[in-house]
Structure 1
């Protein structure tokens, strides 16, 4: 890995954070082209790095070609905050006509990597993502070089890595979708290994190892209580919040809302939507809070942590936070676009499909995203 490349990423991240790139053209020239140069691409050879590459009646921002004139990677560039589902649809339409192995959608800050030949929705065909501001510069360089380095594209190693990583993400998503049912089955049994582990921990804590049947009864009761809690959650929520049918369309003036598995709740703020989503996912999957910070954390802070102090390091008094099931803490002090992004990533970690299993409406303002978050898929 090039140390200079990591320094370039840090410099670009500062510029993006300071608002130095004010349009799609400035992002394309000041960020994307510079990154491609660091990756070894001959950016002034328009047969290799082809700008405004024509595909049918449309044009994609960059086609990275090998051999010259034959696209191996398509890169679509958007304004900051606009690399959303609409951009994904547009990019995949390009890929359908051209048949490229790798597609990249970026607004300069966020980079999403897709395998067009994969299965499922656009989101399900994304195999990697990075954020130049939130992610460590070394990790960002590793991801960019893994798939987009000129030498790796020429040798076809970038494509092979993309296919392997897509397959790994797909298997993990399938595994995650079964976490809750497997966990309930282990508790209801209980599984001999779980019973042994529980008995051993009780013995270590108290000096007295419990009778096997007593321990098994306790574990089964916990499973029954968890199922009863989930079954009764609808009745509880109707007392706390207004529950309405899924709205056909949500406008900017409508209140923030969450539709989870077909049931819609309205809230007073985006922060309440964020809390509700993380509460639900953490309640369904005991390991969710552990996996989320392992996959998604900032350079100097965590958005989900065991200690509240880790959410806002360096601040004399911790900012807004919420205690999640299992003793974890969630940072809730962030702008609405960041809330949307964290919810999308939470869905990935938990194995839920954003836009189908989890649908949200959080007003995000006119300069960042003015999309209908209730229909994002």
Structure 2
């Protein structure tokens, strides 16, 4: 008979004292190492070694085949797992594939199951990559995907939070997982709709150029060189970047196809929508763009005590700092009202006086420092068609 020794018992107590989210993130890190090392070589090994462990961590009774139903029969076919509530009634379908095989063919097969069963959430995974779908959504399979994870590439905490949102046993039972999936799908759909207008908006901004874009460009040149360019000189340069097709719309289509490519300015949401922040699926609205900028930096500084230090070392102007230990280093030689800066956790200061595109750029940089994906983990909407949200 096994009797746990003192060290074994102490280890169990230490593990039980860890918050569930931390334990789950550590489990995902452990699985990611195993996947990277080739420990799961077949669909069956992925199903038993990865999927069941994830479901167990999320509170599912994996040995109750009426709740976690393996090889669930739908018509003449079988789906790998049906997560049921009440027992025998699927709330989530999970289709498992070999590594690298969770592709379009797998999506088609999964959606055929869903159409027969009317399931709120569908998951396609090869153990490493996880795709979450809302079968009742509109459009193609890809357009109904509202979340995606990669256990190896993504931060384990983010992966744990995402799985918790959509697959936690209690959240599925209460219906909150389905409601969250519907909200996130709708947010994703709106972001994609906005993205379809990026190119035309960007061309219009360059052709003007838009006053905010001109202001941002001039401010950044001033930050780097200490000399703010003359407005007309800066405007001529910006117009040249649009290429001949934008500067001279009457020229041939052939020349339009050879214009220089430029990076699009993020413009999620409609111009009439209030400034907003979507942080890992949770949406908040604000009165000004500066409040969005502050909210992003406050969240990241609270999550990571070293974030501000790393950001300050990587991103700064030539004659000023964007994040500094001293407020005076944010606007050296300039008088700015106290509303142009904000105190962050850890005694750091954040400069908030930027044009709206400038605020978006600071958020991009913050995501890069924090290891988050801008446009997915962090989505900001700061209207660029007006001066709404700009600090004095």
Identify the match of residue 140 of structure 2 among 121, 124, 144: 121
The corresponding residue for 2:189 is 170
Q: Assess if the C-alpha contact under 8 Å between 1:180 and 1:284 holds in 2.
A: no
Q: Assess if the C-alpha contact under 8 Å between 1:62 and 1:75 holds in 2.
A: yes
Q: Quick one: distance in 1 between partners of 2:48 and 2:77?
A: 20
The aligned runs of 1:23-38 (5 Å cut-off) are 23-38=42-57
The aligned runs of 1:200-239 (5 Å cut-off) are 200-202=219-221, 205=225, 207=227, 209-210=229-230, 212-225=231-244, 227=246, 231-232=254-255
Q: Quick one: distance in 1 between partners of 2:21 and 2:214?
A: 50
Question: Structure 1 length normalisation: TM-score?
Answer: 0.60
Q: Assess if the C-alpha contact under 8 Å between 2:240 and 2:247 holds in 1.
A: no
Q: Assess if the C-alpha contact under 8 Å between 2:241 and 2:262 holds in 1.
A: no
The aligned runs of 1:296-375 (5 Å cut-off) are none
Larger Rg: 2
Q: Deviations over 1:84-142 (max 9, x none)?
A: 00000000000011011100000111110000011111111111111111112111111
Identify the match of residue 13 of structure 1 among 23, 28, 32: 32
The corresponding residue for 1:250 is none
Q: Assess if the C-alpha contact under 8 Å between 1:180 and 1:285 holds in 2.
A: no
Residue 218 to residue 7, structure 1, CA distance change in 2 (3 Å): closer
Residue 26 to residue 222, structure 1, CA distance change in 2 (3 Å): closer
How big is the shift at 1:219?
2.9
In the alignment, structure 1 segments of 5+ residues that lack a partner are 237-279, 289-293, 296-305, 308-344, 350-377
Identify the match of residue 83 of structure 1 among 74, 80, 102: 102
Is it true that 1:101 corresponds to 2:120 in the alignment? Answer: yes
Q: Assess if the C-alpha contact under 8 Å between 2:244 and 2:256 holds in 1.
A: no
Q: Assess if the C-alpha contact under 8 Å between 1:87 and 1:105 holds in 2.
A: yes
Tell me how large the CA RMSD over aligned residues is.
Answer: 3.2
Q: Assess if the C-alpha contact under 8 Å between 1:173 and 1:348 holds in 2.
A: no
Identify the match of residue 111 of structure 1 among 130, 133, 138: 130
Residue 194 to residue 346, structure 1, CA distance change in 2 (3 Å): closer
The aligned runs of 1:121-140 (5 Å cut-off) are 121-140=140-159
Q: Assess if the C-alpha contact under 8 Å between 1:39 and 1:148 holds in 2.
A: yes
Q: Assess if the C-alpha contact under 8 Å between 2:123 and 2:131 holds in 1.
A: yes
Question: Structure 2 length normalisation: TM-score?
Answer: 0.58
Q: Assess if the C-alpha contact under 8 Å between 1:188 and 1:224 holds in 2.
A: no
Q: Assess if the C-alpha contact under 8 Å between 1:179 and 1:285 holds in 2.
A: no
The alignment partner of 1:2 has SS state of: helix
Q: Assess if the C-alpha contact under 8 Å between 2:25 and 2:156 holds in 1.
A: yes
Q: Assess if the C-alpha contact under 8 Å between 2:207 and 2:247 holds in 1.
A: no
The corresponding residue for 1:285 is 263
The corresponding residue for 2:171 is 152
The corresponding residue for 2:73 is 54
Is it true that 1:4 corresponds to 2:12 in the alignment? Answer: no
Q: Quick one: distance in 1 between partners of 2:21 and 2:227?
A: 55
Is it true that 1:63 corresponds to 2:82 in the alignment? Answer: yes
The alignment partner of 1:72 has SS state of: strand
Q: Assess if the C-alpha contact under 8 Å between 2:245 and 2:256 holds in 1.
A: no
The alignment partner of 2:242 has SS state of: helix
The corresponding residue for 1:311 is none
| Number of residue pairs aligned between Structure 1 and Structure 2 | 251
Q: Deviations over 1:25-46 (max 9, x none)?
A: 1111111011101100011111
How big is the shift at 1:218?
3.6
Q: Deviations over 1:293-336 (max 9, x none)?
A: x99xxxxxxxxxx99xxxxxxxxxxxxxxxxxxxxxxxxxxxxx
How big is the shift at 1:216?
3.5
The corresponding residue for 1:41 is 60
How big is the shift at 1:11?
1.5
The alignment partner of 2:162 has SS state of: helix
